[in-house]
Structure formats: structure tokens, C-alpha cells
Structure 1
Amino acid sequence: MNEILLSLLGFPDASYLGKRIFKKHFFENATLTPADKKSLQDDVGTITWLYTLKPSTIQIKPYSDEQREYLEVSILEITLRSLRNYKRLAEVIHRAIPYPLLLIFAQNSGASIDELEDDENSEDIPRETESKVALSVAPKRFSQAEKGAVVVEEFFTTGWIDPEKPSTIEKAFLEDLNLSNLPHTHFLAFYSALMDRFIAFGCASLTGKYRLDNGEISQEARWQQLTLCHELEGKIAKLRATLRKEAQFNRKVELNVQIKQLEKQLQKESLSL
């Protein structure tokens, strides 16, 4: 585990667990596609339940109402053999465990980036893998369709960050995740504040400045705007992947025009972040 990251997060010693979670838990309790099963088996090295934040380990109260139950927050570390599918793996793990999680993805030494030249997600994958981590949170609520079930409202998963050599934005984000900067009233407030920081970090990737609150729009509206921007980024990435494979000149011109239009729209939409 990256000691610099742990120092920045500041989890109390009393919350340390260090318990291994075996992959069969996910095979037996999660709804997995064949691709998910293969990725979980081949790409994941180990899954460790590192810390549990609960009233007996930290001075934060549980929270529950008709929509949500936040009794504790668990921190899991996932070491990877291959980095290609880490964002999808984050979704699988968040859905399989029905309480709020902070996921920390770390790379095994020699972790493979595979052949990514034609992969639309290739920009998310670091070419140098030493010491980098990726973090993920996902707010959850009770299902309206199935009594007792819990559903994920949204996924927030960062790109790869090197805590030893962070950028200015990454440094501000990591320092803002420290326990001393988060509310301790109850676990919903605590986790919502975590989510706010992930939203701010996602916005900073587009604006070039980390701001926890831009003072102009609500956090919910900011979240929705960021989601729209990510959708535009996804469309641009897919078009670029198609462009790299296209041989016909006229079609290349058409794809370039579409990309420029979407980039212009993305720039416009990101101004309110």
C-alpha cells in the first residue's frame, strides 16, 4: 500500500482491518457478465478490506432514513495485474457490497497496460506504473423496485495519480480527502463530502483548477454538468478511435468535423464547472 497516500488520508489506527476478501465472494454474490468474470479473475491480484470507519473506530454517527443507510464506510484496496478494466471493476465491486466504500486501486509491480493503441480508454492508463493509485466512491440508496436491495446512484472513479509526484490539482484533491477536512456529524455527511471532492476533482480535469465549490451552481447541478461533459468526452474518444482506423479520406474529414464540434461543445459546457 502507498504509505504517502495513507498518510494523506489519515485513517485512525483503530480502524485498520487488513482482511483479505476472496474473489469467490463476488462470483457468488454479484451479477457478473462473462467479461466481468474474466477481468476479476485475470486482472485482479488481491482485494483487501483495509479499514472500517464505524462508531467504534471513529467519532462519526451512523445515519439512516427512508432512502439511505450509512452505518459505516469501508476502505478496500484492490491490486491489479492489468490496468485496462479498472473503472469497470470499480462498478462491479461497488454493486456487490451494499454499503458505502472508498476503493483504492493499486498496481502490482509489472502490471500490464496491454496493447491500448485502439482503446478509447487508453488515455486513462499510465505508461509508467510505479506507485500510482486510482480512487473510487459511489453513493448508494435503497432500491424502489426491490425491498431491501441497495442500488448505486453514480460512480466516481479517478484516473491514475502518483502520490509521490502529484500535480497541483492532484495534490489539492488528496489533501482535501484527509479526515480532518471532512465532516464528522454522521456517515452520510462524511461520504457526501467525499463525493463532493471527487466531483471537484473531475471538474478540475476540465477547468484546470480544483475548486470544492464554484459558488455559482448547486453541487447536484455541478454533478449533472460534469456527467454531461464526461458523456461528450466519451463520444470524442470513440470518434478518435474510429478515425485512427478509417482509411477513406472523405470519412476522415467528416469524423474530424464531428470531433471539433463536440470539442467546442465540451469547452462551452465546462465553463460552468
Structure 2
Amino acid sequence: MNQNSLLTELIVNLKLPNETKLGVKIPKKTLSDNTELSSNDKSIIKDVLKSIDWAYTLKPETINIPTFEDGVREYLEIAILQVQVKSLNKTKQLCKLLHTNIPYPTLLLVEHEQSLAISVADKRINQADSHKLTIEKQFDSPWLNQPLESVQQSFINDFSLSNCSTVSLYDLYSDFINKFNRLESANFTGVYGSHQQTSDSQQVTETLEQLKSLETELNGLRNKLKTENLMNNKVKLNVQARAIKKQIKQLKEQL
């Protein structure tokens, strides 16, 4: 691992206890031999994945934080994986594949040369098969490169166990997710905020989804206005656009 890399900076910021270090290499063959994988999944492993290491494990024995089970979620252990990829293409698909096939909540640290991307996923117990986990939502950072933008640097700095809950592994992982929400929120506010608490995680995620949907709708109205010739229709479109802008403003104030 390059001592000046973003990955090194992130690992230092995480402040992981020595007991959490695992350092187990996972052969690509272990993944590709899974009979439940589609041919497309196997192609992604072959074409995108370079190497994968189970670098750290967070569980009661290594981090002294309790597990969490409620019939919907199961947080017995958090796996931190270092993933090397061959290119920047299809990395989100690879992350989804890894999140799906690793039976623990997972923090993926993905590297391509000097670039770093981070991925987590909110996973729940599959109600049809309790031995499997289903992804509710995947959270992916953009590719990060030095020098980092101010908001991105705040995101990296925030990635520390000292900034996470110690109530349970679920609460800790929820705080990881919250950091992605803060990064996404900064796209709308321009500021990386650290006021959002674990309990707000789902609400903030929903607010961000609403904002993205409204932004898409607003852009659609703007495109229609460019081509609309009838004044009455233009007035209607402008009224709709103003209403959406008001909704966007109100939602931004919740972040």
C-alpha cells in the first residue's frame, strides 16, 4: 500500500485497533466459482476485479462493540475489504456484486492506481431465505483523487471510528452510511455537515432521493420551456417550475 495514497490516509483516519487487522487474501476463483452468479457477474469479476483482501474485521472480539439482530437486520460482524480494480469502468456493479455475496455488512475500499472510491450498502435479511442478505440501498462515493476538494477532504476526515456510535455494530455502520449522506447533501448545500445523527440516516436518505427526483423534474420543465411557443403553456410550465423550486428549497433546509 502506497504510504502517500488516499487509502493510507483513510486507514489512518479510521483509527482501527490492531485487533481488527485480518489481512486475508480472497482468491478471485472463490467468487467466480459461485454457481449462483450470472455469466454477466462472472464477466465483471474477470474483467474488472484485480485483487481483493479482507483487510479488517469489526466484531465484539476485536472492537468491543455489541452485535445487533432484530429479525430484519443482522450485524454480527463488519467486513472491511480492500479491492484493487483494473479500470474505473463497472466498479459500482462490482461493488454491488461483492455486497450481495459477502454475508456481512461491508465497507469496500476500492483502489485504481492513485484513485479511491468507497462503498457501503444497507442490507437486510432476505425474508425468503434467512441465510441471505438483500441490498436495500447501495452508497458509493465518486472516485476521489488528490488534491481533494474541500468537501471530499471533510468526508475522508469524518471516516473515523471516533465519529461513529459504539452502541452496536448496526449503529456504527449506520454512521458510515450517514457520512455518504453528508457527502451527497453537500452537492445541494455546498457544505459537508456533521450534525446528522444515526437516527436521521433513513430520513436524510429519503430527502436526498426526493431532491434528486425534483431536480430531474425541474430540468425536464426547463427543457420544455425552451421549445414551447404558446404563452399559456409557458405560464403553466413556469408556475410548475416555481412550485418545484420551492419544494427543493424546503428540502434543502432539512439537510
**What is the TM-score when the length of structure 1 is the normalising length?**
0.74
Q: Does 1:197 align with 2:183?
A: no
Map of 2:72 onto structure 1 = 67
Q: Does 1:146 align with 2:151?
A: no
Gaps of 5+ in 2: 2-6, 221-225, 229-236
Which one-letter code corresponds to 1:188 in the other structure? Y
Deviation at 1:205?
2.2
Q: SS at 1:57's partner residue?
A: helix
Q: SS at 1:206's partner residue?
A: helix
Deviation at 1:101?
0.4
Is 1:73–1:187's contact at 8 Å kept on the other side of the alignment?
Answer: yes
Q: SS at 2:43's partner residue?
A: helix
Distance in 2, matches of 1:178 and 1:79, equals 22
Query: Out of 181, 187, 191, which is 2:169 matched to?
Result: 187
The one-character-per-residue Cα deviations of 1:204-229 (angstroms, maximum 9, x if unpaired) are 123211113469x9432221121244
1:1-273 correspondence runs (5 A): 1=1, 2-29=7-34, 31-108=36-113, 131-162=114-145, 164-213=146-195, 218-230=200-212, 269=248, 271=252, 272-273=254-255
Is 1:213–1:219's contact at 8 Å kept on the other side of the alignment?
Answer: no
Moved segments of 4+, more than 6 Å: 232-237
The one-character-per-residue Cα deviations of 1:220-267 (angstroms, maximum 9, x if unpaired) are 222112124445678999x9xxxxxxxxxxxx969xxx9xx99x9589
Distance in 1, matches of 2:215 and 2:48, equals 25
Percent identity for Structure 1 against Structure 2: 32
Distance in 1, matches of 2:16 and 2:131, equals 30
Measured at CA, do residues 155 and 235 of structure 1 come closer, stay the same or move farther in structure 2, by a change above 3 Å? farther
Measured at CA, do residues 30 and 165 of structure 1 come closer, stay the same or move farther in structure 2, by a change above 3 Å? farther
Measured at CA, do residues 81 and 6 of structure 1 come closer, stay the same or move farther in structure 2, by a change above 3 Å? same
Is 2:121–2:135's contact at 8 Å kept on the other side of the alignment?
Answer: yes
Deviation at 1:134?
0.5
How many residues end up aligned between the 2 structures? Answer: 233
**Higher fraction of helix:** 2
Is 2:73–2:125's contact at 8 Å kept on the other side of the alignment?
Answer: yes
Q: SS at 1:42's partner residue?
A: helix
Deviation at 1:106?
0.3
Task: Supply the RMSD in Å over aligned alpha carbons.
Answer: 3.1
Is 1:200–1:213's contact at 8 Å kept on the other side of the alignment?
Answer: no
Map of 1:121 onto structure 2 = none
**What is the TM-score when the length of structure 2 is the normalising length?**
0.78
Gaps of 5+ in 1: 109-130, 240-251
